[in-house]
């Protein structure tokens, strides 16, 4: 098999050798070792289930890449410098398969022989960390449950052992191995959550969408990575979680599952998927008609902030859609303009936007948190109802969001999150079927101002009869 393209090592690092090998070949290597300097094993049942979900989804492919493992090769040993979490998890999986083989004989002779050989050659590392011991015990039970199910067939076993591959990189000096590991991290291996999502959804492209891949991800590649990070962490993550009634403080790698949904090409025909499948294919069919070359009016996919994500191409289209939409709403809101080209704002809406855009204390950390709540809920409202009754909606959202500012002297990230969850208007919008269901909600009157430098906000509350 052709060796992968590995970036040149950092200056001063010796030449390295790299190979692509199967999981079976990796685990059959009795020289593997987990050095004591490695951090504890911290994979959880969630990681294990994700690994086996990937195996199930991709089992019809000729091969599937699981990642890279870096070795320090010395004295007949291969110390794992990077990739120990994945390697230990694979060891646990094969241990569970070996036990399954003993309890119920496999039909395929080649798989029986491979598991016997693995049992004979596979390493059994010792761990001193209590964290490692607990996670290894729990994950072994989890993987045992998975491989003992009737739907985990011999086809799955063959795919895991022989068609799942890793890239191995071996160096013979420990400092060089760590220097290579560090240089890889500097090149982006310690990826941000949105980068992990990019990698995941690139793998999820269906065969029919492959010709569209370059064009689909072009917008992503041309976007500033900090802007993408902000889009996900400050808007998409918060809105999706708050609309579910869940906390949304920090968007981390463990939260990427929030933006993984279904692959239209591989998901079974469950009833809940049909509306997504219909919309997905109809939009493509409509845009492919020759009439679009005449009227130049393609149909965009009907994305919504709280809907299930369609993996692959639609994820990138969704990201581009909300990049434009969030930026437009934020710009219009901060300029005090009528949102979305709607009729001029009436009532208190125009004054609200002018006030929150100009009051002197607006740039304090706590005030920025309050503004974040306001912006997210405005975006969520417009995403669902467009600009219907937008002036009334802005008034309602302002009172709800900025009551936090008046009631607390210090507003922190936790304060923001707790305020949303205690009286969750995101859930109210999610359940609403018309603007009036949201606009007619009753909000409490504020009885005192514990904040400072917010006289302009307090004045608006008084004029709107929400302050006593």
Tens of pLDDT, residue by residue over 430-444, are 999 999 999 999 999
The residues near 192 (Cβ < 8 Å, ≥ 6 apart) are: 225, 229
Percent above pLDDT 90 for the chain = 59
Residues 37, 181 within the same domain: yes
Indicate if the pLDDT at residue 394 is higher than 70. yes
Residues 297, 254 within the same domain: yes
Say whether pTM exceeds 0.85. Answer: no
Per-residue pLDDT, 353: 94
Residues 299, 411 within the same domain: no
Per-residue pLDDT, 91: 94
Angle, vertex CA 412, rays to CA 410 and CA 415, nearest 5: 95
DSSP notation for 255-266: GGGGG--B-TTT
Q: Are strands 77-82 and 64-74 parallel, antiparallel or unpaired?
A: antiparallel
Residues 212, 63 within the same domain: no
- Residue 151 inside a domain? The answer is yes
Confidence band of 7 (pLDDT split at 50, 70, 90): very low
Q: Coil, strand, or helix at residue 171?
A: strand
Per-residue pLDDT, 59: 84
Residues 426, 283 within the same domain: no
Confidence band of 63 (pLDDT split at 50, 70, 90): confident
Confidence band of 307 (pLDDT split at 50, 70, 90): very high
Confidence band of 429 (pLDDT split at 50, 70, 90): very high
Instruction: Report d(CA 342, CA 371) in Å as an integer.
Output: 22
Tens of pLDDT, residue by residue over 197-233, are 988 888 888 888 878 887 787 778 788 888 999 999 9
Question: pLDDT higher for 427 or 33?
Answer: 427
Angle, vertex CA 135, rays to CA 152 and CA 72, nearest 5: 95
Instruction: Report d(CA 19, CA 25) in Å as an integer.
Output: 11
Indicate if the pLDDT at residue 189 is higher than 50. no
| Pick from 61-65, 103-107, 382-386: least confident | 103-107
52-61 average pLDDT score: 85
- Residue 3 inside a domain? The answer is no
Indicate if the pLDDT at residue 69 is higher than 90. no
Token pair for 164: 């799942």
- Residue 119 inside a domain? The answer is yes
Instruction: Report d(CA 16, CA 14) in Å as an integer.
Output: 6
Confidence band of 170 (pLDDT split at 50, 70, 90): confident
Per-residue pLDDT, 199: 80
Indicate if the pLDDT at residue 400 is higher than 80. yes
Task: Look at the block and give the residue holding tokens 């990642």.
Answer: 67
Q: DSSP secondary-structure letter at 254?
A: G
Domain that holds residue 134: 17-190
- Residue 251 inside a domain? The answer is yes
Per-residue pLDDT, 9: 46
Indicate if the pLDDT at residue 335 is higher than 80. no
Mean pLDDT over the full length of the chain: 87
Per-residue pLDDT, 13: 44
- Residue 334 inside a domain? The answer is no
Indicate if the pLDDT at residue 268 is higher than 50. yes
Question: pLDDT higher for 460 or 338?
Answer: 460
405-427 average pLDDT score: 95
Q: Are strands 77-82 and 164-171 parallel, antiparallel or unpaired?
A: unpaired
Per-residue pLDDT, 344: 76
Residues 186, 222 within the same domain: no
Confidence band of 456 (pLDDT split at 50, 70, 90): very high
- Residue 98 inside a domain? The answer is yes
Residues 176, 212 within the same domain: no
Residues 25, 165 within the same domain: yes
Residues 82, 220 within the same domain: no
Per-residue pLDDT, 274: 95
Tens of pLDDT, residue by residue over 28-50, are 999 998 877 667 888 889 889 98
Domain boundary among 156, 190, 224: 190
Instruction: Please return the burial class of 302, using the count of CB atoms within 10 Å of its CB with bins 0-12, 13-18 and 19+.
Output: exposed
C-alpha gyration radius of the chain: 27
Tens of pLDDT, residue by residue over 343-392, are 578 999 999 999 999 999 999 999 999 999 999 999 999 999 999 999 99
Per-residue pLDDT, 11: 45
Residues 160, 106 within the same domain: yes
Confidence band of 10 (pLDDT split at 50, 70, 90): very low
| Pick from 14-23, 60-69, 252-261, 352-361: least confident | 14-23
Token pair for 56: 């199930």
Indicate if the pLDDT at residue 316 is higher than 90. yes
Indicate if the pLDDT at residue 337 is higher than 70. no
Domain boundary among 135, 167, 190: 190
Residues 381, 433 within the same domain: yes
Domain boundary among 319, 350, 384: 319
| Counted domains in the chain | 3
Indicate if the pLDDT at residue 100 is higher than 70. yes
333-347 average pLDDT score: 69
- Residue 297 inside a domain? The answer is yes
Helix H, strand E, coil C: the string for 103-166 is HCCCCCHHHHHHHHHHHHHCCCCCCCCHHHHHHHHHHHHHHHHHHCCCCCCHHHHHHHHHHEEE
Question: pLDDT higher for 338 or 70?
Answer: 70
Residues 180, 212 within the same domain: no
Indicate if the pLDDT at residue 185 is higher than 90. no
- Residue 88 inside a domain? The answer is yes
């Amino acid at each position: 098999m052709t060796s992968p393209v590995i970036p040149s090592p950092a200056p001063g690092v010796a030449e390295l050798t790299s190979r692509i090998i199967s999981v079976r070949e990796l685990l059959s290597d009795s020289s593997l070792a987990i050095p004591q300097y490695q951090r504890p094993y911290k994979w959880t049942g969630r990681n294990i289930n994700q690994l086996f979900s990937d195996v199930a989804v991709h089992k019809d492919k000729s091969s599937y890449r699981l990642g890279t493992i870096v070795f320090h090769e010395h004295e007949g040993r291969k110390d794992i410098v990077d990739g120990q979490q994945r390697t230990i998890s694979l060891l646990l999986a094969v241990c569970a398969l070996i036990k399954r083989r003993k309890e119920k004989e496999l039909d395929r002779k080649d798989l029986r022989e491979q598991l016997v050989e693995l049992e004979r050659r596979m390493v059994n590392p010792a761990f001193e960390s209590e964290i490692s011991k607990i996670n290894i015990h729990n994950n072994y039970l989890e993987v045992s449950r998975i491989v003992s199910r009737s739907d985990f067939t011999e086809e799955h076993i063959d795919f895991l052992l022989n068609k799942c591959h890793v890239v191995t990189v071996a160096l013979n000096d420990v400092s060089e191995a760590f220097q290579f590991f560090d240089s890889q991290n500097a090149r982006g291996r310690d990826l941000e959550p949105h980068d992990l999502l990019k990698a995941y959804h690139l793998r999820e492209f269906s065969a029919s969408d492959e010709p569209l891949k370059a064009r689909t991800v072009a917008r992503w590649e041309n976007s500033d990575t900090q802007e993408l990070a902000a889009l996900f962490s400050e808007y998409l993550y918060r809105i999706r979680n708050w609309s579910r009634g869940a906390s949304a403080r920090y968007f981390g790698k463990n939260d990427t599952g929030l933006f993984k949904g279904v692959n239209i090409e591989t998901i079974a025909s469950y009833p809940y998927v049909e509306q997504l499948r219909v919309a997905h294919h109809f939009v493509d069919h409509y845009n492919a008609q020759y009439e679009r070359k005449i009227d130049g009016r393609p149909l965009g996919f009907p994305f919504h902030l709280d809907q299930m994500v369609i993996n692959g191409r639609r994820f990138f289209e969704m990201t581009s859609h909300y990049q434009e939409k969030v930026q437009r709403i934020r710009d219009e809101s901060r300029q005090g303009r009528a949102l979305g080209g709607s009729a001029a704002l009436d009532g208190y809406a125009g004054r609200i936007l002018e006030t929150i855009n100009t009051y002197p204390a607006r740039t304090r950390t706590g005030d920025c948190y309050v503004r974040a709540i306001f912006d997210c809920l405005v975006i969520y409202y417009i995403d669902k109802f467009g600009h219907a009754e937008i002036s009334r909606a802005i008034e309602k959202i302002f009172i709800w969001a900025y009551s936090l500012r008046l009631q607390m002297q210090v507003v922190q990230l936790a304060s923001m999150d707790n305020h949303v969850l205690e009286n969750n208007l995101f859930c109210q919008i999610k359940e609403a079927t018309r603007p009036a269901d949201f606009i007619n909600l009753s909000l409490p009157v504020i009885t005192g101002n514990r904040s400072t430098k917010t006289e302009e906000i307090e004045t608006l509350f008084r004029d709107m009869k929400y302050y006593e």
